[in-house]
Amino acid sequence: MVFIKSLGAALVTGASQGIGKAIAMRLAHDGYRVALNDLGHKRNQLEAVAEDINQKFGTETFVVPADVSKEEQVEVMVASSSKALGGLDVIVANAGIMGPTKPITELSMEEWDQVQQVNIRGVFLCYKWAGRDMIARGSKGRIIGASSMVGKQGVANLGSYAAAKFGVRGLTQVAALELGKYGITVNAYAPGAILTPMSESSFSDHSAPHKDLPSLPPFAKLGRPEDIASIVSYLASKEAHYITGQTISVNAGIHFD
């Protein structure tokens, strides 16, 4: 176990697996006390992540199951995390779902709404309540959201997902403008082809991703959750104070901004 001087406290949503888990582990490594969120039925996974963090870093954790699409739950999630960990300095609105892969002419309203509820409504609610908490405490914090390469370049048959992830970019810009006067920065990350439990079924051959992604540069491999965690680590740091309103691409060159 390595004991690290605390840099403050961070809340990570969707932290039970994949990118969220990698972000939580990295922020704990960096020295943050970490609140871990996901849906209620994933509590055991969250507890396992918390135990892993404690064993490796001796860092304080707080497990806080909640549905990020429900405002009353997000309000309680933020307030309880802030109280338990002595005030939030960072929130990473990472939770998201892929949704159906089908043309927009075949999407049902239920399918559309499900993706929007988590991927954009959930980010909005995290931004809102984290912003309120940081303003009330005078914290010059960091708010970070999850967009996607599909939030910068539309992909056929991913209409609901693309719309939500494009929305995160716009919301991030607005939040950065509104919260900047309080010393709060707001940014997002846009992952490319990252191999996670949620995305692995999208790739027929993990060792040859170009079969499914012909636009992936010849030199590029599938990314790992840790590749996203590294940019979040920087955006959460003091060194990133001059960056706000940005959505940072992490995609091995699959497309350029």
Does residue 212 fall inside a structural domain?
yes
Does residue 223 fall inside a structural domain?
yes
pLDDT by residue (tens digit) across 172-190?
Answer: 999 999 999 999 999 999 9
CATH number at residue 90: 3.40.50.720
Q: Which amino acid is at 138?
A: G
CA dihedral 246, 250, 251, 254 (to 10 degrees): 40
Chain position carrying tokens 């939770």: 95
pLDDT value of position 3: 53
Does residue 256 fall inside a structural domain?
no
pLDDT by residue (tens digit) across 184-215?
Answer: 999 999 999 898 766 555 554 444 445 546 66
Q: Is the pLDDT of residue 142 over 60?
A: yes
Does residue 54 fall inside a structural domain?
yes
Q: Higher pLDDT residue, 236 or 217?
A: 236
- Cα R_g (the chain), whole angstroms: 17
Structural domains in the chain (count):
1
Does residue 2 fall inside a structural domain?
no
Chain position carrying tokens 């704990």: 28
pLDDT value of position 32: 97
Active site residue 127: no
pLDDT by residue (tens digit) across 82-140?
Answer: 999 999 999 999 999 998 999 999 999 999 999 999 999 999 999 999 999 999 999 99
Does residue 77 fall inside a structural domain?
yes
pLDDT value of position 193: 86
pLDDT by residue (tens digit) across 46-77?
Answer: 999 999 999 999 999 999 999 999 999 999 99
For residues 127 and 118, give the distance between their C-alpha atoms in angstroms, rounded to a whole number.
13
pLDDT value of position 215: 63
Average per-residue pLDDT for the chain: 92
Q: Which domain holds residue 156?
A: 9-249
Does residue 61 fall inside a structural domain?
yes
Confidence of residue 158 (pLDDT cuts 50, 70, 90): very high
For residues 109 and 106, give the distance between their C-alpha atoms in angstroms, rounded to a whole number.
10
Does residue 1 fall inside a structural domain?
no
Q: Is the pLDDT of residue 23 over 90?
A: yes
Pairing between strand 32-36 and 8-12?
parallel
Q: Is the pLDDT of residue 33 over 60?
A: yes
Select which of 21, 165, 181, 211 is catalytic.
165
The angle, 0 to 180 degrees and rounded to 10, between the axes of the packed helices 18-30 and 225-236 is 40
Active site residue 161: yes
How far, CA to CA in Å, does 224 sit from each of 8, 27, 200?
Answer: 26, 16, 11
pLDDT value of position 205: 46
Select which of 161, 181, 221, 242 is catalytic.
161
Tokens of 28: 């704990």
